[in-house]
Amino acid sequence: MKTQPGINGAGLGPGKKTRLNRILRQHGLCNGTAMFLPYDHGLEHGPRDFFDNPAVSDPAYTIRLAIEGGFNGIAVQIGLAEKFYWDYAGEVPLVLKLNGKTDIPPDAEALSPLQASVADAVRLGADAVGYTLYVGSPAQETDFRQLRQVRVDAQRFGMPLVVWAYPRGAAIEAKGGRDSFYAVDYAARTASELGADMVKVNFPHPEKTSGVKDAYRREFSPQQAIDAVVRSANRTLLLVSGGEKQGDEAMLEKARQAMEAGATGLIFGRNVWQREHDESLRFVAHLQDILAKYPQPGTLQV
């Protein structure tokens, strides 16, 4: 079992340190691991994601689910944060997503425009901000510039920065696609190089990599691939994302492999809430059993 090298507290400043401590040590299992509930699908995919469990289209229901499930944070866009979070302020940390887009236009030149600021996050009592970075998109240069300003603001306001590092674009598709080992590994490293405190990535698939040098061995096991991705993220805390709903065993195995590799935690949305309330909590309890086996005492070194 590997443990995360951890963020070096000395470089964080008091605001980031306090907020990360609240997320990692005062919520969830309080053991340095983290489980976040993402809930920006209404914007990113449209309401279709809520059809399997219509209750989840109500943001109040979903925030309560995050509280009942003992999550370390819930990630929402500005509109929902302003309308709903204040009813539950402090009961579960808020990760304010600063940018977002619909999936209506094609993804070829993906760029997620800013909808909110780090100052909004401070005003709303958030403990972190989220930014989607499309690594490899033709619009990458604009994206990097946008992220730079968010990073500078996050540093100034003492706000942890979580980067959703999503490979996108034709060049990525030519190398095996957005969840190939190559693409996920590069995205994790990019987020770390650009100053993320945490990075959210898809689980890497070695067998999907193509058209790149031999270093990305297609015969790597899933465990070897996620080990490499955690190494690439280095002191940026790594969160593994859920993706479309799959069977529970496959998801729990993914969670186990991620934690074994030294990931800090999970950010599973559809796999948690595309099912009836008690079933969601039952699945969350299984995820927590896994996280409990991988305490991360050094996650936040102060």
Ligand X SMILES: O=C[C@H](O)COP(=O)(O)O
Q: What are the catalytic residues?
A: 166, 200
Query: Closer to ligand X at the Cβ: 1 or 104?
Result: 104
Query: Closer to ligand X at the Cβ: 44 or 216?
Result: 44
Residues 228-247 that bind ligand X (CB under 6 A): 241-243
Q: Report in angstroms how near the CB of residue 271 gets to ligand X at its nearest.
A: 6
Q: Report in angstroms how near the CB of residue 22 gets to ligand X at its nearest.
A: 21
Query: Closer to ligand X at the Cβ: 136 or 269?
Result: 269
Q: Report in angstroms how near the CB of residue 241 gets to ligand X at its nearest.
A: 5
Instruction: Kindly tell me which residue out of 24, 269, 275, 296 binds ligand X, with binding defined by CB under 6 A.
Output: 269
Side chain identity at 17, as an amino acid letter? K
CA dihedral 251, 255, 258, 263 (to 10 degrees): 140
- Please identify which residue in the block is written with the tokens 């790149």: 212
Let me know: does 298 contact 6? Beta carbons within 8 Å. Answer: yes
101 touches ligand X (CB under 6 A): no
Report the C-alpha gap between 99 and 141 in whole angstroms.
Answer: 16
Instruction: Kindly tell me which residue out of 268, 284, 288, 291 binds ligand X, with binding defined by CB under 6 A.
Output: 268
Residues 29-48 that bind ligand X (CB under 6 A): 38, 40-41, 44
Residues 171-230 that bind ligand X (CB under 6 A): none
Report the C-alpha gap between 20 and 28 in whole angstroms.
Answer: 13
Among 142, 245, 141, 137, smallest CA distance to 187 is for 137
Secondary element (H or E) of residue 12: none
Report the C-alpha gap between 230 and 223 in whole angstroms.
Answer: 11
> Which residues sit at the interface with ligand X, rule CB under 6 A?
38, 40-41, 44, 241-243, 267-271
